[in-house]
Every structure is written in structure tokens, then in C-alpha cells.
Amino acid sequence: MRRFNRFMGFASALLIGTLLTQGTATAATDQGRSLKDRQSRIVGVWDVEVVVSNCETNATLFTFLAMHSYTAGGTGQVVPATNPASTSAYMMTWRHIAGNTYQMAFKMYRYDPNGVAVGWTVVSNEVSINNNATEYVGGGVAEAFDLDGNFQFASCPAFTGARFKG
């Protein structure tokens, strides 16, 4: 009987320990999942309006529409609704900063009216997503370089996006 009581005590302690550990593991998993969900709220396809301004005077230089696609893992693509003879689609990297804020950078190649490559532009910006993850706003800096990598000029794009619904 003493042996049985010792076994039951050990089994009870093991069961209680397992339950306590399982609760902690579940809480940690839920916290990890919650963080991952917040980090990936930007994933998907977005309709975006871009307003490009002079960084010093804030005067609008031009506007255009684009599609932004954010994929899990921190990469994406931007397809501008501009003449494809003057620019390429852009490849992007993105990362979650905190809360509803994301930072991204993308690169595009530029061409003259004859289709000859003249350089590239690198855009660095931040956007903030609304609480429903259906819209975002943000802005940044676009730096243009010639084919030798010499800085040419900068502009300041602003972004307003809404999740693409098809």
C-alpha cells in the first residue's frame, strides 16, 4: 500500500507539473502567434496612390497608381501604373517595426524615352496600417542614381493604400 501511495503521489506531482508547463507553453505559443500575426498584417496585395514631391519645397512633382504586393518573410514587389518603357517593376524588402508600422525599401531601374538604361532609384519608406489592416499611409525618400552609382537627385514619395479586393 505504501508503494501504491508513493506511486500516486509521484503521478499526481507529474500530472500537476505537466498541466502547469502546458499552460505556460500554450501562453508562450499564443504570444508568439499574436506577435507573428501583427508582424504579417501587411501581407497581401494593395492598391496604392503615390504622390511624389520635391523634398525641400513639398511641391507635387507627379502622381501615379501602383500595386504593392507584400509576401510572408519580408519580400515583395511594386508594379507602377506608369509607362513600362520608362521604369521597371520594383523588388522590395519589408519588416515590421512596431505596432502598426512597417519599413520597406525597394529598387527600380530607370530608362530614357528610347528604352536605354539611365540608372536606378532606391526608395526607403515607412507606412502605418489602420487597426483593421485595410488601409495604410506613409512616406519616405527616393534617391536616384546614374549607371555608375552616382547620386543624381532625391524626391519624397507619399503613399496611400487600400487592400486590393479584386
Q: What is the DSSP string of 1-35?
A: -HHHHHHHHHHHHHHHHHHHHHHHHHHHHHHHHHH
Mean local confidence (pLDDT), 116-121: 94
Q: What is the pLDDT of residues 126-166, one digit of tens each?
A: 999 999 999 999 999 999 999 999 999 999 999 999 999 88
Global pTM reads: 0.73
Residue 2: its pLDDT value, please?
54
